[in-house]
């Protein structure tokens, strides 16, 4: 039997899964190890990313915002312009191409707000693969439009009523379903979480963001940025935006977590600041837990950041002092959502607005010849009704 690397980032990561899944997860790790180095696979994936998802995404110089904040020059990496409206498609195309190579005819996925579910249903339609999506009942009610979108794309959506009926329960349900039917089914995990090889594989598929951004900023300015800023839920868009800058020691890497109603309240999802080491969803990482070590309920205005854990590589990067993590409140994110709309004519996802909010704080502290790259993980059409409600405006959604 081929020796499988355990997928550790320092002390974090690993494979904490039931016996029933171990063989399949290791088959996946071996298949990924093989196809990752297969030029034909990489060429096929690049064609899909370019022709279907619309890559490379632009690195856009935000001139007005840079001038008005009066400090660093701000560039946005426009993942919001990808097909289906976020970075999620980068990972989904990679995993589904791999699943096809492994002979799978069916995929399952979990989704919170529905962005990952929509991306998976989209690529399933493209590739002619059967697709079932697990989504908390509370989320299917909150995100009825995305549920209908997935159905339009031919996917079956399961509303999960166990636990709090939200994302973590959808992940539990998807893991159980996978354990009961591994032969024809691949589980498309939507972020840098879960057992090895997922955190590494999803990181690699998302690292196209920083591969492009690094070349684009050097081409545009001849130098590297002072900082790269991205929002963090499970951590996939952030690790994708950081990865190819990790060896550039002078580039600060800054992840923005959801501090909800305040990092000191119980209504937050700031895992780095409020979490502790634990084992959940197949990995050793940081999680927001109660006094008994149970996963605690989390909250954010942004459904995409509303996850009680974070990818293990981020915990390692924080421990070795290579990346920093900051909390951004709902109020700050909504202000930033409106700010970038008025300054740059971009309605970004409320998740991404958490990163924009930190750029508003950081840019004035830096010199005019310094550069910030901010990853815009997604577009904000899905959030407009919720922002209106937040401002007390009824738009009859
Ligand atoms: C899902 C999502 C996120 C959060 O997920 P990460 O894995 O942390 O990137 C952020 N932004 C958008 C637009 C999303 O759809």
Instruction: Look at residue 143 in the predicted model and tell me its pLDDT.
Output: 87
Residue 142: other Cβ atoms inside 10 A: 18
State mean pLDDT over 219-248.
Answer: 98
- Of 351, 352, 375, the one to substitute when testing ligand 1's pocket (max ligand atoms within 8 A of C-beta) is 351
User: pLDDT per residue over 109-128, tens digit each?
Assistant: 999 989 999 999 999 999 99
In terms of Cβ atoms closer than 10 Å to its own Cβ (0-12, 13-18, 19+), residue 146 is buried
Q: Which of 66, 207, 300, 377 is labelled catalytic?
A: 377
**Is residue 1's pLDDT more than 80?**
no
**Residue 395: what pLDDT?**
83
Cβ(255) – ligand 1 distance below 6 Å: no
Please tell me the distance between residue 3's alpha carbon and the centre of ligand 1 in angstroms. 33
User: Does any ligand 1 atom lie closer than 6 A to the CB of residue 191?
Assistant: yes
397 confidence band (pLDDT: 50, 70, 90): low
CA dist., res. 109 & res. 157, Å (int): 10
Compute the residue count for the chain.
Answer: 397
- Residue from 270, 288, 308 nearest 170 by CA: 308
What pTM was estimated for this model as a whole?
0.97
* Alpha-carbon dihedral 248, 350, 168, 166, rounded to 10 degrees: 180
269 touches 260 (CB < 8 A): yes
pLDDT digits (tens, 9 = 90+) for 58-107: 999 999 999 999 999 999 999 999 999 999 999 999 999 999 999 999 99
H-state helical runs in the chain: 19-36, 39-47, 63-69, 88-101, 115-127, 137-142, 144-152, 167-180, 198-206, 208-221, 236-242, 271-274, 312-319, 330-344, 350-362, 384-390
For residue 2, the model assigns a pLDDT of 41
Q: What share of the chain is helix, strand, coil (3-state, %, to 5)?
A: 45, 20, 35
Task: Answer whether 304 contacts ligand 1 (Cβ < 6 A).
Answer: yes
Rounded distance from Cα 234 to ligand 1 centre (Å)? 7
Tens of pLDDT, residue by residue over 235-270, are: 999 999 999 999 999 999 999 999 999 999 999 999
Domains of the chain in start order, with CATH, are 9-49+88-202 (3.40.50.1100), 55-85+207-390 (3.40.50.1100)
CB atoms within 10 A of CB 186: 24
CB atoms within 10 A of CB 302: 27
134 DSSP β-pair partners? 110, 158
> Which H or E run includes 13?
strand 12-13
Q: Which residue has the tokens 């580039």?
A: 251
How confident is the model at residue 394, as a pLDDT? 85
Which protein residue has the closest C-alpha to ligand 1 atom 13? 378
pLDDT for the residue numbered 358: 99
Q: How far is CA 322 from the centre of its chain?
A: 20
| Active-site choice (57, 86, 88, 257) | 88
Q: How many angstroms separate the CA atoms of 152 and 109, rounded?
A: 16
Tens digit of each residue's pLDDT (9 = 90 or more) over 23-38: 999 999 999 999 999 9
Which of 231, 308, 336, when mutated, tests ligand 1's pocket best, judged by the most ligand atoms within 8 Å of its CB?
Answer: 231
Give the per-residue pLDDT at 6. Answer: 74
User: What does the mean pLDDT of the chain come to?
Assistant: 96
| Catalytic status, residue 377 | yes
% pLDDT > 70, the chain: 98
Alpha-carbon radius of gyration of the chain: 20
CA-to-CA distance for 210 and 396, rounded, in angstroms?
Answer: 39
Ligand 1 atom at minimum distance from 349 CA: 13
């Amino acid at each position: 039997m081929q020796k499988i690397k355990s997928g550790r980032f320092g002390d974090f990561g690993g494979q904490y899964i039931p016996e029933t899944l171990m063989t399949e997860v290791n088959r996946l790790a071996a298949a990924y190890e093989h196809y990752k180095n297969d030029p034909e696979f990489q060429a096929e994936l690049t064609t899909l990313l370019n022709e279907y998802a619309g890559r490379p995404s632009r690195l856009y110089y935000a001139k007005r915002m840079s001038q008005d904040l009066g400090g660093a020059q701000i560039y946005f990496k426009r993942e919001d312009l990808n097909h289906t409206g976020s970075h999620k498609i980068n990972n989904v195309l990679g995993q589904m191409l791999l699943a096809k190579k492994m002979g799978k005819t069916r995929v399952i996925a979990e989704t919170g707000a529905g962005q990952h579910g929509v991306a998976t249903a989209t690529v399933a339609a493209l590739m002619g693969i059967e697709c079932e999506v697990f989504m908390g009942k509370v989320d299917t009610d909150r995100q009825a439009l995305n549920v209908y979108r997935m159905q339009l794309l031919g996917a079956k959506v399961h509303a999960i009523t166990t636990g709090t009926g939200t994302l973590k329960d959808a992940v539990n349900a998807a893991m159980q379903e996978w354990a009961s039917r591994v032969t024809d089914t691949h589980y498309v995990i939507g972020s840098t979480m879960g057992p090895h090889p997922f955190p590494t594989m999803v990181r690699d598929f998302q690292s196209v963001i920083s591969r492009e951004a690094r070349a684009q900023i050097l081409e545009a300015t001849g130098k590297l940025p002072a900082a790269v800023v991205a929002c963090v839920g499970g951590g996939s868009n952030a690790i994708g935006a950081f990865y190819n800058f990790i060896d550039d020691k002078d580039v600060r890497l800054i992840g923005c977590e959801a501090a909800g109603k305040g990092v000191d309240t119980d209504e937050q999802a700031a895992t780095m600041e409020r979490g502790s080491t634990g084992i959940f969803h197949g990995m050793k990482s940081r999680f927001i837990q109660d006094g008994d070590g149970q996963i605690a309920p989390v909250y954010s205005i942004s459904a995409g950041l509303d996850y009680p854990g974070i990818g293990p590589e981020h915990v390692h990067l924080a421990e070795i002092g290579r990346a920093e993590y900051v909390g951004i409140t709902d109020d700050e994110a909504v202000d930033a959502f409106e700010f970038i709309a008025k300054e740059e004519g971009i309605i970004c996802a409320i998740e991404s607005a958490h990163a924009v909010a930190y750029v508003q704080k950081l840019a004035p502290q830096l010199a005019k010849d310094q550069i910030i790259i901010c990853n815009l993980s997604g577009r904000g059409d899905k959030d407009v009704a919720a922002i209106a409600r937040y401002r007390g405006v009824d738009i009859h959604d």
